[in-house]
Structure 1
Amino acid sequence: MTETLADAVRSVTADAGALAMKRWRTDFRRWEKSPGNPVCEVDLEVDHLLRQRLGALLPDAGWLSEETKDDASRLAATRIWVVDPIDGTRDYIRGREGWAVSVALIERGQPVVGVLDAPARGEHWHAENGKGAYRGVQRIMASDHATLSGARVPAEHLPKADRDFTTVYKPNSIALRIAMVAAGDADLVATLRWGNEWDIAAAVLIAREAGAAVTDALGQPLAFNSPEAHAFGVLATAPAIHDAARERLAARSVLAKGAAPAPGG
Structure 2
Amino acid sequence: MPTPDAGAIPIASADDHALAARLAEEAGELLLRLREELQYEGSATLKREGDRRAHDLLVRRLAEERPGDAVLSEEGRDRPERLASPRTWIVDPLDGTREFSEPPRVDWAVHVALVAAEHPIAGAVALPAQGITLSTAHPSPTPPPPPTPPRVIVSRSRPPMVALAIAEALGADLVEMGSAGAKVAAVVQGVADVYPHAGGQYEWDSCAPVAVAAAAGLHCSRIDGTPLRYNQPDPWLPDLLVCPPHLVDEILEVTRGGAY
TM-score, length of structure 1 as denominator length: 0.82
**SS of equivalent residue, structure 1 residue 150:** coil
Query: Is 2:134 the partner of 1:125?
Result: yes
Output the aligned Cα RMSD.
Answer: 2.3
Number of matched residues? 238
1:191-244, Cα deviation, whole Å (9 max, x unpaired)? 112210000111101111111111012211001000001212111111101121
- What is the letter of the counterpart of residue 154 of structure 1? I
**SS of equivalent residue, structure 1 residue 24:** helix
- In 2, Cα distance between equivalents of 1:85 and 1:30: 17
- In 1, Cα distance between equivalents of 2:42 and 2:68: 33
1:15-26 map, 5 Å? 15-24=26-35, 26=39
1:40-51 map, 5 Å? 40-51=48-59
The corresponding residue for 2:3 is none
Percent of counterpart pairs with the same letter? 27
TM-score, length of structure 2 as denominator length: 0.83
Query: Is 2:23 the partner of 1:12?
Result: yes
The corresponding residue for 2:113 is 104
- Does 1 or 2 have the higher relative contact order (CA < 8 Å, sep 6+)? 2
- In 2, Cα distance between equivalents of 1:125 and 1:92: 18
Runs of at least 5 residues in structure 2 that lack an aligned partner in the other structure: 1-11
Of 180-189 and 97-106, more deviation after overlay is shown by 180-189
1:97-129, Cα deviation, whole Å (9 max, x unpaired)? 10011100111111111111111011111015x
Query: Is 2:148 the partner of 1:143?
Result: no
Distance 1:70 1:30, change over 3 A: farther
- In 2, Cα distance between equivalents of 1:161 and 1:20: 35
Distance 1:161 1:42, change over 3 A: closer
- In 2, Cα distance between equivalents of 1:27 and 1:2: 42
- What is the letter of the counterpart of residue 127 of structure 2? A
> Displacement of 1:7 after TM fit?
1.9
- In 1, Cα distance between equivalents of 2:182 and 2:42: 25
- In 2, Cα distance between equivalents of 1:181 and 1:162: 15
Of 215-224 and 23-32, more deviation after overlay is shown by 23-32
The corresponding residue for 2:5 is none
- In 1, Cα distance between equivalents of 2:252 and 2:134: 26
- In 2, Cα distance between equivalents of 1:192 and 1:70: 24
Determine if contact 1:13/1:101 at 8 Å carries over to the other structure. yes
The corresponding residue for 1:243 is 249
Determine if contact 2:44/2:101 at 8 Å carries over to the other structure. no
> Displacement of 1:94 after TM fit?
1.4
- In 2, Cα distance between equivalents of 1:58 and 1:28: 35
- What is the letter of the counterpart of residue 223 of structure 1? R
Distance 1:201 1:116, change over 3 A: same
Determine if contact 1:182/1:208 at 8 Å carries over to the other structure. no
